[in-house]
Amino acid sequence: MAKPMDQITWQELEIGAVVVEIGNARQYETGSWRSERPIVDKKQCIRCGVCWLFCPDMSIVRASEGHFEANLTYCKGCGICAKECPVGCIKMVSEEE
């Protein structure tokens, strides 16, 4: 988006609200939805990538040390990664803590 969504006028929208700019979902930071965040115990992580595979928002990224962790700009805190992790190394922690 050339402009943030809340500044676009009706005249600026494409016909049919077609989005012509590729990949602009990246600008929509869904991390603000989160009430819990996934915390990865990188010592326990076996680097299988199951969390990466299951994340519905492609918010799991591989850290430089080789383990996986959540990109909190986009992670909505759904908890699927924690549920699917075969070794239970991901814990959901309340954002209030």
- The answer to whether the CB of 47 falls within 8 A of the CB of 67 is yes
Decide if residue 8 touches another protein (CB under 8 A).
Answer: yes
Q: How far is 25 from 19, CA to CA, in rounded Å? A: 10
Q: Is 18 in the site for another protein (CB under 8 A)?
A: yes
Q: Give the binding-site size for another protein (rule: CB under 8 A).
A: 15
Pick the piece of the chain touching another protein (CB under 8 A) from 17-25, 61-69, 71-79, 88-96. Answer: 17-25
Q: Which is nearer to another protein, 26 or 47 (CB)?
A: 26
Minimum Å gap between C-beta 23 and another protein is: 9
Q: Is residue 13 near another protein by the rule CB under 8 A?
A: yes
Q: Are the CB atoms for 81 and 90 separated by under 8 Å? A: yes
> Residue 58, SS3?
coil
| C-alpha distance from residue 19 to each of 16, 42, 61, 76 (Å) | 9, 39, 26, 23
Which amino acid would we find at residue 94?
S
Pick 25 or 48: Cβ nearer another protein: 25
Which stretches of the chain bind another protein, using CB under 8 A? Answer: 5-6, 8-11, 13-20, 22
